[in-house]
Amino acid sequence: MNAIVVPLIIAVALIGTPLFIIILAGAAYGFWSVQIDLMVLPIEIFRLTENTLLISLPLFTFAGYLLSESKTADRMVNLTQAALGWLPGGMILISLLACSFFTLLTGGSGVTIVALGALLVPALKSAGYSEKFSMGLITTSGSLGLLLPPAIPLILYGVVAQQMDIADVDIKDLFVAGLIPAGIMVLALWGYGLWSQRHQPVPLTPFVIREVLKQLWLSKWELGIPLIIALGLISGWLVISDIAAITALYVLIIEVFVYRDIKLSSLPRIAADAMKMVGGILLILAVALAFTNLLVDLQIPTRVFDFIQAHIDSRWVFLLCLNVALLLLGAVLDIFAALIIIVPLILPVAMEYGIDPVHLGIIFVANMQIGYFTPPVGMNLFIASYRFKKSMTELYAATIPMMLVLMLVVLLITFWPDMVLFLVR
C-alpha cells in the first residue's frame, strides 16, 4: 500500500497541488494506515489556537505590508547609504542585523520575512544587489537570531534540559554561548554577500555627516519603530503580542497621516492582502501540526535516535550524524516539537560522549535554524514564496548557497566547542 500511495502523493505534489493539501494528504494517509480516527486532523488544526505567539503574526504582517506599500524602503536605503555607504556591503549588514533583531523578538515563526521582507528586498535591490541574492539573503535571515537572547528556542532547550535532572544547564549560559555563533553567522553571510556580489555595481559613497543628519531627519518617524519595540521590552509595559499591536497602530498612523504615503482608501485592500497571506501561512502551520503529530504518534524521532545510538561509537561521528539528523528533522518538524521530543533523547547520549550540554543546545538550535529553509519544506521558503511572489524553485536556487555557508558555520560550531564555550566556562 505504501508503495502506491507515497509515490502518488509525491506525484501530485510535483504537478503543482497546493502544499497544504499535500501535507494534509500525507497526514491523513499516515493516520488511516495505523487506524486512527481521522477526526485527529481537525483536532490538530484546532491546536493552532493553543499558541499565544501566533496572535502577533497578523499584526506584524499588517505593519509589514503598510511599510512595503509606502516609501520606507527608499528612506531606509538613503539613510543606510549615507551612514554606511563607505562600508562595503553596508546594506547587507543592516539587513542581517534587522532580521536578527526581529527574529529574536518573534522566535522565527516566519514573522520576520513577512514584516521585513518586502522592505529589505527592494532596499537591497535599489542599493545595487541582484534580486536573486536579495531574496535568498532575506529568506535565509528569517530565522537568523534564534541563537540570540531572549529567543524562545534557547529558553525551551534550557527548560527541557533542567527537567531531566542529569545536566545542569543555566539559561543565562545558553544566552552567552549563543552570542559568538550568532555573530559568526552574520559575518559569514555578510562575507559571502560581498564575495558573491563582487561583480554587481554597488558604488561606495563617502561619509558626509550633513547628509546622514538629513536622512536621519527624513526617516525620524520610522526610526521610532525599533525604539518602540526596544522600549516596550525594557520598560515592562508590553509583551510581544502587545508590541505587535502597538507597532501596527504606530505604522498605520505614520504612513497614512504623517508621511501620507498610503491613502486611507487603499487601507482595506492592503489589509485584505495581508490577511490573505496570513491565512495561507497559518493554514500551513496548522496542517504541519497534524503531520508533526503523526510523526510523534509513530515515535519516528525516537527511532531515528535509537538507531544513531546503536550504530555509532565515536564522538565526532556522533556529532556529524547528529547534525545530519537534526537538519533532516528540522526540515520537517516544527522547532518547538523538535526540542521537546528530541532533546530528552539525545542529551543523555551526548553527555556520555562528553559533549557539554550548553554546546549541544547551541548545535541543536543552529541546526533547527537551517531547517527553516531546507528544501523542500522549510517554513521560511513557503513564507518567502508568498511574500516575494516567487516560485518555490526560484527560492531553492536563491537560498542553497547561503544554506551551505551556514552549514559550514554549524560545522565550525560543532567541532570547535571552545569557540562556543569560552565565554561561559
Contacts with Na ion in 367-396 (CB under 5 A)? 371, 379
Distance CA 143, CA 25 (A): 28
Select 55 or 320, whichever has its Cβ closest to another protein.
Answer: 55
Distance CA 178, CA 175 (A): 5
Query: Hey, which residues between 68 and 97 contact another protein (CB under 8 A)?
Result: none
Select from 46-54, 213-221, 322-330, 352-360 the region that touches Na ion (CB under 5 A): 322-330
Residue 150's binding partner out of another protein, Na ion, none, with CB under 5 to 8 Å set by partner kind: another protein
Select 202 or 290, whichever has its Cβ closest to Na ion.
Answer: 290
User: Cβ 136 to another protein, closest distance in Å?
Assistant: 17
Each residue 296-325 as x (binds another protein by CB under 8 A) or -, in order, gives xx-x--------------------------
CB 343 within 8 A of CB 363: no
CB 23 within 8 A of CB 287: yes
Three-class SS state of 33: helix
Q: Over the range 216-225, which residues count as b (16 or more CB within 10 Å of their CB) and which as e? A: eebbebbeeb
Does 331 participate in binding another protein (rule CB under 8 A)?
A: no
Distance CA 399, CA 421 (A): 29
Give the containing element (helix H, strand E) for 97.
Answer: helix 90-106
CB 356 within 8 A of CB 161: no
Q: How far is CA 329 from CA 67, 216, 301, 332, in A?
A: 35, 44, 8, 5
Residue 371's binding partner out of another protein, Na ion, none, with CB under 5 to 8 Å set by partner kind: Na ion
Select from 13-21, 177-185, 188-196, 407-415 the region that touches another protein (CB under 8 A): 13-21
Select 221 or 336, whichever has its Cβ closest to Na ion.
Answer: 336
Q: Which residues contact 28 (CB under 8 A, 6 or more apart)?
A: 38, 41
User: Cβ 341 to Na ion, closest distance in Å?
Assistant: 13
Query: Hey, which residues between 171 and 230 contact another protein (CB under 8 A)?
Result: 171
- For Na ion (CB under 5 A), the number of binding residues is 3
Nearest to 22 by CA among 3, 37, 7: 7
Select 79 or 244, whichever has its Cβ closest to another protein.
Answer: 244
Residue 244's binding partner out of another protein, Na ion, none, with CB under 5 to 8 Å set by partner kind: another protein
Residue 411 sits at φ, ψ, to 5 deg, of: -60, -40
Of the candidates 87, 212, 218, 249, which one interacts with another protein according to CB under 8 A?
249
C-alpha grid cell for residue 328? 533532516
Cα torsion through 374, 375, 377, 379, rounded to 10:
50
Select 275 or 424, whichever has its Cβ closest to another protein.
Answer: 275
Does 14 participate in binding another protein (rule CB under 8 A)?
A: yes
Select 145 or 371, whichever has its Cβ closest to Na ion.
Answer: 371
Select 79 or 115, whichever has its Cβ closest to another protein.
Answer: 115
Angle at 70 between CA 69 and CA 72, to 5 degrees: 120
Each residue 353-382 as x (binds another protein by CB under 8 A) or -, in order, gives -----------------------x-----x
Of the candidates 344, 411, 419, 424, which one interacts with another protein according to CB under 8 A?
344
Q: Find the distance separating the first CA and the last CA of the chain, reported in whole Å.
A: 54
Peptide bond connecting 376 to the previous residue in cis, omega within 30 degrees of 0: yes
Does 406 participate in binding another protein (rule CB under 8 A)?
A: no
User: Cβ 165 to Na ion, closest distance in Å?
Assistant: 28
Distance CA 366, CA 327 (A): 9
Select 225 or 282, whichever has its Cβ closest to another protein.
Answer: 282
Give the containing element (helix H, strand E) for 222.
Answer: helix 220-235
Each residue 31-50 as x (binds another protein by CB under 8 A) or -, in order, gives -----xxxxxxxxxxxxxxx
Of the candidates 110, 330, 361, 417, which one interacts with Na ion according to CB under 5 A?
330
Select from 123-131, 140-148, 159-167, 319-327 the region that touches another protein (CB under 8 A): 159-167
Binding residues (CB under 5 A) for Na ion: these are 330, 371, 379
